Structure 1
Amino acid sequence: MAGPTNPPGGSGKDESINFDDPLYVHPSDNATTTIVTVKLTGNENFRIWRSSMSRALKARNKLGFVDGTFRKNNVETNKESKWERANVVVCSWLLSSISDSIYASHAYSDNAQEIWENLFETYNKADGSVVFNVHQRINSLKQNGLSVSDYFNKLDTLWNEFDGLTSVTECTCEAAVKLNDHSKLMKLMQFLSGLDESYNQVKSHICSWIHFLMLKLFFQ
């Protein structure tokens, strides 16, 4: 007697599995999986860590477990155990991505949203010394033989970190546009000032039209 056959084009796997369901956990995404390379160490890298973790969770359709959009009371009673399993996995991902000193304060937490919110409340602070340190590193960074691309990438990383620490309320008014243009000019001059002497001729050429741009910006 012939055994059961798969339907045309079928794989023989359970077709009822919904890979877009937040409750679905891929076999490779278990509780011991490391989903980000950045470890949270404190105020100084919280925004970078949060951004990296948010992307990683969103890619796995698990962001709802931490931002409150997919809570246990959102699922049917017969799926609550699946929610609990997925929640524990997300908890493990969060806890495995923080330093040992921070881990101790959250080791017994069993709700991913609570861990996420507690970390936000504790470390989403622009400590003055941190802001000063980043600003100082920006001002002291020089090319010193690096390739232009490597030098720019280092400077751009510091700029992004500084902008994250000193971010202001978003605005789309005309003044905000001019302020953004001014910020870009300041960054360009910062970049040029750190280039090696071998680029002096290039710097001189660029600076000749920076002056024109600044006049245009402030007297429009």
Structure 2
Amino acid sequence: MATDPPSPVPSSYLLHPSDSPSLTLVNGLLTGDNFPKWQKAMTRALNAKNKLSFVDGTLTPPDPSSTAYPQWNQTKDMVLTWLLNSISPSIANSLEYHTDPRAVWVDLSSRFCHGNNARIYQLKRALSSLQQTTNSVHEYYNQIKQLWDELGHLQRNTDLKDLQKQVEDEQVFQFLLGLNDSFASLRTQILAMDPLPSISKVFSILFQEEQQRLLHIQTPPSESLALALPP
């Protein structure tokens, strides 16, 4: 009785002879604050090697009894090693017990993908203070274009609702950029909120903080002490 021929191994499972566990796919290790740039570079590198499906959720693992399973398992571990090679040791150590590159990808996204507000603020601050100084026009253009490109990547939206939120967030960023450094701690807390609060809410938070400071300054020491003591 004739038997069916074994199913062909998908091309994404195959490794090139030059592929090795010591390979680093991108320049610059992931440190956390550079996650968007790292993720974009890693996506390109994995796609070039036909291995992006191991992290983007489009690949379904084969049945363990399948003839393709050993090759899939080997390639999976290779992709996982490549990912860990491209992450700073302080972060990679916390990922060592993951056995699936997709799990590492999701873990990193959950940690760093929502921290864009602080980076957007840093980019806008850099843009507002950037000057040509002694650089050539070409060097100055390269500097500002790099900031524009990263900012555009972080703020890329196509949905009308998202675009409206982006306009509202822009008001928040502009307001925070002009604040005195005495509000630096509170500004950091606001930037850590996801999503960013509305400009009216940000104003309310800062106004209340300012009023509390004024009250503390205007309250005589004896009265302040009396208010702090229980009746």
TM band (smaller chain) = 0.5 to 0.7
Aligned match for 2:148, one of 144, 159, 164 = 159
* 1:128 aligned residue: 117
- Relative to structure 1, the CA distance from residue 160 to residue 64 in structure 2 (aligned partners, 3 Å threshold; closer, same or farther) is same
Structure 1 gap segments, 5+ residues each: 1-17, 180-220
Shift of 1:165: 2.9
Residues 41 and 102 in structure 1, CA contact (< 8 A), matched pair in contact too? yes
Aligned match for 2:51, one of 52, 59, 62 = 62
Counterparts of 1:35 and 1:93 in 2: how far apart (Å)?
7
Q: How does 1:2-13 map to 2 (within 5 A)?
A: none
Aligned match for 2:127, one of 114, 135, 138 = 138
Q: Taking every aligned residue pair, what percent have the same amino acid on both sides? A: 33
Shift of 1:170: 4.1
4+ residue runs over 4 A deviation: none
Deviations for 1:3-47, whole angstroms, at most 9, x for unmatched residues? xxxxxxxxxxxxxxx9981111111111111111131111x2111
* 2:90 aligned residue: 101
Shift of 1:164: 2.8
Q: Secondary structure at the match of 2:90?
A: helix
* 1:209 aligned residue: none
Residues 9 and 68 in structure 2, CA contact (< 8 A), matched pair in contact too? no
Aligned length: 156
Amino acid at match of 1:163: G
Matched, 1:35 2:33: no
Matched, 1:112 2:131: no
Shift of 1:79: 1.2
Shift of 1:78: 0.7
Deviations for 1:92-115, whole angstroms, at most 9, x for unmatched residues? 111111111211110121101111
The 10-residue stretch of structure 1 (49-58 or 151-160) with the greater mean CA deviation from structure 2: 151-160
Counterparts of 1:145 and 1:107 in 2: how far apart (Å)?
46
Shift of 1:74: 7.3
Normalization by structure 1: what TM-score? Answer: 0.64
Residues 63 and 69 in structure 2, CA contact (< 8 A), matched pair in contact too? no
Amino acid at match of 2:16: H
Shift of 1:75: 8.9
Amino acid at match of 2:29: K
Counterparts of 2:36 and 2:63 in 1: how far apart (Å)?
29
* 1:168 aligned residue: 157
Amino acid at match of 2:142: N
Aligned match for 1:26, one of 2, 16, 20 = 16
Residues 87 and 112 in structure 1, CA contact (< 8 A), matched pair in contact too? yes
* 1:89 aligned residue: 78
Amino acid at match of 1:37: N
Amino acid at match of 2:154: L
Residues 38 and 52 in structure 1, CA contact (< 8 A), matched pair in contact too? no
Amino acid at match of 2:13: L
Structure 2 gap segments, 5+ residues each: 1-7, 168-231
Deviations for 1:109-159, whole angstroms, at most 9, x for unmatched residues? 110111111111111013433322211111111112222222111111111
